[in-house]
Structure 1
Amino acid sequence: MPLPRRTLLQTAAVLAAAGAATGAASHHPGRIPHKAISIQLYTLRSLLDADLVPTLRQLADIGYRTVETAGTHGRTAAEFRSVLDDLGLRATSGHSGLEGGIDALIEESCALGHRRVAVPYAEFDTADGWREFADQLNEAGHRCRRAGLRFGYHNHDHEFATVDGHRPFDILLHRTDPRLVHFELDVYWAVHAGQDPVALVDAHRGRFPQLHVKDRSATGEMVDPGTGTIDFPELFDHARAKEFIVEHDNPTDPMRTARVGFRYLRTVRW
């Protein structure tokens, strides 16, 4: 029997909507918003220590609008913030340890205008040491949240090596409160430790709002973003991160790294 006209129209509408959705997906691939591209200033520490304002001006000229701090290079937090403001830059996040106390961390982060702050490094010889550290992260995260900051931890590779039968990264993931502590995934160091970053972000959805975009050569060297072997498009598709931060620990030409990284993140699609 012929189908009723209403059924035919409904079927056609569903098929059209599906086709439109498929077309939209194929013609509008994922991309990183300009405002989500940042750079960890540790990459340019030698240039910043020597000539702060011109170096930051070059970053603004490249196209950066946001940066991640690692110290203030001889300036107070207020002075550093003023320089950034004058150049149209914003320090949306920063690295800061707990050694100086949580109050000092919050005060400096707020003065710099951060939305997020992360502890850049920690290492302990025992699993209990890592458990105690996780508890410290929870406390810091609680106090940061009350101050309007998001608090997190940045990994290297040693967190994925077993200590007392446990991986420190697993201890941190499971012992910290997801509402208080996030993770800034350093992609290079995770891959260098033998981890699959896509599997990591899939298994812990929402814990990784920040990515340190550092590439790795086939022989293990750290290289500029987009010039190595890491499949960033797949990772970006899975991660749904809020900040994509260019970094290189020891670049031979820091400003070149800044240029290459920015261009890659502006043009990468998935």
Structure 2
Amino acid sequence: MAKPVVGLQLYTLRDQTENDFLGTIRKVAEMGYKAVEFAGFFNTPASELKALLDELGLQAPSAHIGLNFGEPEKIEADLAKQIQYAKEIGLQYIVTPWAPLPANPTIDDVNKLADILTAAGKQVKEAGLTYGYHNHDFEFKLVDGKPVMDLLLEKVPAEYLIAEFDFGWVHMGGQNPVEYANRYAGRLPLAHFKDFGQGRSDTEVGKGIVNLKGVLDVAEQSGIQYIFVEQEQFVSSSLESAKISLEFFRENGYL
């Protein structure tokens, strides 16, 4: 086992990437991050992106790629195009960042979503990659006495679905992040570190109330290989916040 690699989910810098995608990736490497997770490719040719990652020595194991839930008949064809691009730039994981669930989900809603995720997972696996799902807090609503997230991980075989727990949202969903890291050890190669301050306002990693240090302490034994910082709201700027979050990992001997 080795310590997880610390990376940045590029959605954090969306105000930068939409104007200068490749230049922003260069800044992330200069800050000291060792990996990136994509949230869109901005029509960048795969060869250009791969060349930059190689030049910077930056790992890029995964990308957030949404499924076309609005037009289910197009999911397979749309995903096939994304898989092709992912393979060209050398990704290992394709992660669905969100799925629609009603405010008060039923077991039928959960089963329907599980079927969609299973089909996507099979398609991704057949292409030689691994498929995952990234949670928010609503997946911890209870259905038949159990959190939706746990039901999905029960219903979709592990070979077709890994968890990419966002531990900030696990906390906001009323659950214990360390407990979830331990419970799904071995099925959790990717993780998001998001911290929350007041209410639903997120903040830099280590500056809020989420027990991310506790997750860090069990990260190796849980099999977490990559930790991605993600933040959506900023006091000064997205770039400044990304730098501040990195200090949490330096203080804990990760860089």
Q: TM-score range by the shorter chain?
A: 0.7 to 0.9
Query: Of the candidates 116, 123, 127, which is equivalent to residue 147 of structure 1?
Result: 127
Deviation of the 1:133 alpha carbon:
1.9
Deviation of the 1:188 alpha carbon:
1.0
Secondary structure of residue in 2 paired with 1:50: coil
1:244 — aligned with what? 227
Deviation of the 1:164 alpha carbon:
7.0
Greater mean alpha carbon deviation, residues 192-201 or residues 81-90: 81-90
Which stretches in structure 1 are left out of the alignment for 5+ residues? 1-29
Query: C-alpha distance in 1, partners of 2:240/2:219?
Result: 26
Deviation of the 1:37 alpha carbon:
0.9
Greater mean alpha carbon deviation, residues 95-104 or residues 206-215: 95-104
Greater mean alpha carbon deviation, residues 90-99 or residues 211-220: 211-220
Secondary structure of residue in 1 paired with 2:18: helix
Deviation of the 1:193 alpha carbon:
1.4
**Sequence identity (%):** 33
1:224 — aligned with what? 204
Query: Of the candidates 208, 228, 231, which is equivalent to residue 188 of structure 2?
Result: 208
- CA-atom RMSD in angstroms: 2.4
Query: C-alpha distance in 2, partners of 1:231/1:167?
Result: 20
The TM-score with structure 1 as length reference comes to 0.80
Deviation of the 1:182 alpha carbon:
0.6
Deviation of the 1:269 alpha carbon:
5.0
1:156 counterpart = 2:140: no
Alignment check: 8 A CA contact 1:37 1:244 kept: yes
Alignment check: 8 A CA contact 1:224 1:260 kept: yes
Query: C-alpha distance in 2, partners of 1:31/1:254?
Result: 29
Query: C-alpha distance in 1, partners of 2:209/2:107?
Result: 33
Q: Which amino acid aligns with 1:171?
A: L
The count of aligned residue pairs is: 239
Q: Which amino acid aligns with 1:246?
A: V
1:267 — aligned with what? 251
1:64 — aligned with what? 33
2:6 — aligned with what? 37
Of structures 1 and 2, the larger Rg is shown by 1
1:127 — aligned with what? 107
1:105 counterpart = 2:82: yes
> Structure 1 214/31 Cα, relative in aligned 2: closer, same or farther at 3 Å?
farther
Deviation of the 1:70 alpha carbon:
0.6
Deviation of the 1:97 alpha carbon:
1.7
Deviation of the 1:219 alpha carbon:
4.3
1:54 — aligned with what? 23
Q: Which amino acid aligns with 1:203?
A: R
> Structure 1 32/224 Cα, relative in aligned 2: closer, same or farther at 3 Å?
farther
Q: Which amino acid aligns with 2:81?
A: A
The TM-score with structure 2 as length reference comes to 0.84
Which stretches in structure 2 are left out of the alignment for 5+ residues? 69-74
Q: Structure 1: which 4+ aligned runs deviate by more than 4 Å? A: 163-166
1:22 — aligned with what? none
Alignment check: 8 A CA contact 1:94 1:116 kept: yes
By percentage of residues, which structure has more helix? 1
Query: C-alpha distance in 2, partners of 1:47/1:76?
Result: 19
2:72 — aligned with what? none
> Structure 1 127/249 Cα, relative in aligned 2: closer, same or farther at 3 Å?
farther
Alignment check: 8 A CA contact 1:215 1:225 kept: yes
> Structure 1 130/78 Cα, relative in aligned 2: closer, same or farther at 3 Å?
farther
Secondary structure of residue in 2 paired with 1:177: coil
Query: C-alpha distance in 2, partners of 1:227/1:31?
Result: 26
Query: C-alpha distance in 2, partners of 1:110/1:71?
Result: 15
